[in-house]
A and B are shown apart, each in its own frame.
Chain A
Amino acid sequence: MIGIEERLRVMLTDVAMATNVQPDARDLDRTQRRPAHSSVRPPTWRRRGTVVALVSALLASGGIATATVLWQLRATESPFNVDGPLYCSGLQFQPPSEVRAQLEGMGYNVEWQYQFSPSESALRTQPPDEGAVIEEIVLFEEEGSALVLVAPFDPADPLHQRLVRNEDDLC
């Protein structure tokens, strides 16, 4: 009987062989991210406004649209990326008060975007009493400020527990 390791090799090779890719270096230009390479950056108010608008749209639109918003947010150079200042910092899914302490310790002025429900959110200067940080913290390095997205979070919820386990597993 074929063992699990051999079965894995066969299955993975099968999928890899079926994945046809034609590299084209011109694609690099098409997918180039603005903040990392552009010498011309939009003004601060516009960058911040864009982030707030994207965060406000998060969850309000749901489903595929949410995935799109998340994808757009990713283009703002998440500090959780490899080499980013918050990579494996342990801030994910932490309560706002703890995140505030860490970010202020790093010298940032912190603002909060709290998503009450899929359709309601608000920008605040004080950390919400509930919820947890979910993935997105946008650092405005030039201003020394940070915008933190907070969403309702239930530690007893199995789905949320799985997210935390995955996060722990990553770092």
Chain B
Amino acid sequence: MRETTAGTTGPRWPPEFVRFYEDEFAGLVRLCRLVVGRLDVAEEVAQEALLALAARWQVVDKPVSYARRSAVHGCYRHLKRAGMERALVRECLPQVVPPTSDGELWDALQNLTPRRRAAVVMRYWQDLDDACIGEALGCRPATVRSLIHRALNDLRRAVA
């Protein structure tokens, strides 16, 4: 039987996956928090992304890319749901207190479309190149450049 650090009653996660989880989870949570704004949601989304990866661990070639793509899409889904909830139920969700002293820029970031927001976070926090960001977003590098260019314009206008 293969050794694992996971619980005794759950599935036996491959040791390589558990190491991957321990190395990458915090980074994924931070990425998700910068995209969705909320830490609790970020942890859920990152966890879901790693679970999706666990289910395909033996067949995924680039686990970091897969987890990042899955997490970014999870963020999209959360943001879309939050937007739908506002639109359909007509109730405001609790406002997230900016976790930074630059609240003006944080608020402007939250008003970008999810895809532009994710692109900006991956470029300016993770320093990823166009190809890696495109892989996570499911688009071409040229589209990434366009997304970031437009996002920066939106941010400049918002904080001017």
- Whether B80 and A166, one on each chain, are in contact in the complex, defined by CB atoms closer than 8 angstroms, is yes
Q: Give the distance in Å from the alpha carbon of A144 to the alpha carbon of B1 in the complex.
A: 38
Interface size band for A: 35 or more
- Whether A21 and B125, one on each chain, are in contact in the complex, defined by CB atoms closer than 8 angstroms, is no
* Chain A residues within 8 Å of B25, by CB: 21, 23
Interface size band for B: 35 or more
B contacts with A: majority SS: helix
- Near B by CB (< 8 A), chain A positions 11-51 give 11-16, 18-19, 21-23, 25-29, 31-33, 36-37
- Whether A26 and B105, one on each chain, are in contact in the complex, defined by CB atoms closer than 8 angstroms, is no
Is B142 engaged at the interface, CB distance under 8 Å to the other chain? no
Q: Give the distance in Å from the alpha carbon of A33 to the alpha carbon of B79 in the complex.
A: 21
* Chain B residues within 8 Å of A25, by CB: 4-6, 13, 18, 21-22
Given A8-B120, A28-B6, 12 other A-B residues pairs in contact with their CB atoms under 8 A:
A9-B124, A15-B34, A15-B106, A23-B26, A26-B7, A31-B51, A66-B85, A83-B52, A159-B87, A163-B80, A166-B83, A170-B114
- B residues at A contact (CB < 8 Å): 4-7, 9-11, 13, 18, 21-22, 25-26, 29-30, 33-34, 39, 42-44, 47-48, 50-52, 54-55, 69-70, 73, 76-77, 79-89, 91, 93, 99-102, 105-106, 109, 113-116, 120-121, 124-125, 138, 152, 155-156, 159
